[in-house]
Amino acid sequence: MKYRQLGCSALKVSELCLGTMNFGPQTSEAKSFAILNEAIGAGVNFIDTANQYGGHLGVGTTESILGKWLAEDRARRDRIVLATKVHEPMSDEVNDRGLSARHIQMACDASLKRLKVDHIDLYQMHHIDRTARPEEIWQAMDRLIAQGKITYVGSSNFPGWKIAQTNEKAIAGRRLGLVSEQSLYNLIERRAELEVIPACREYGLGLITWSPLAGGLLAGASQDHDGRRQSDEMRLAAVSRSEQLSRFGGLCLELGGTPGAVALAWLLHREGVAATIIGPRNLEQLGSALRAPDIRLDGDVLAKIDAIFPACGAAPEAYAW
């Protein structure tokens, strides 16, 4: 496993970040533990979760599963970079959501309790809250840092303008600011290249990509057996992009890699990417993903991939003169 610096921080994280959204609703506790053990054994040191994850089992379930795993062996906590998120509704209560200073404090305390740890390495805002001023958000984050409950602050699903606004307020207050942005980015969804990635580059944020396989669409036929591509929406997407996916599959065959592994490798070749999140439901999927960092794509192959999945271009030229 290789490691990269997380944005402007000196923190080193593995190129593959283990996403845990499936833990609980899709993957049993025992199988989740097996995936965690295998990933850590392979050198993954970056684990991402969120307070809302849990699906039909209820919010907080995934953090609780991760907390049980961490409690099994206290040495595990020091080996990993632990990331979670705040913003999404945790109940029907009007203030149990968003990025008010009150909710940030309460949500962090609740996450620490579920995770059974005393601090979170990377505390990420799961989405923008248009009602919360940056000054209020930084007040809450400053307090959590002073209390020793979090170490770094990151964003997720932020547009470029919000990254700029949030970090300008941080700069004015002589803070480190955001160290990372977790964004939707893959071969099919490349709009992050227009504004988000340039903003990350300008302000020194490491990009953490989520849904690197476009919900399984880029995984290829070998991943279909678990039903991840069986929804009507995914079937329609597969049909509409059948020509692209076929060309990509052929290229991957030439390279000797699976489509999923090549799609992950492509992200690791993109400038500014600190890590890409993998969300395996089982050990087989984890094993396939772990091969991605070893795949090297030369300029010719990258050009062929761009021909199949064209870039959006640069902003504003992509949509203006």
**Mind telling me the catalytic residues?**
53
Q: 10 Å Cβ neighbour count for 300? A: 8
Instruction: Return the SS3 of 229.
Output: coil
Instruction: Fill in the amino acid letter for 201.
Output: R
Q: Tally DSSP H helices, then E strands, for the chain.
A: 12, 10
Peptide bond into 198 cis (omega under 30): no
C-alpha distances in Å from residue 320, one per residue of 48, 97, 315: 37, 37, 8
The DSSP secondary-structure symbol of 83 reads E
Instruction: Return the SS3 of 28.
Output: coil
CB of 220 closer than 8 Å to CB of 193: no
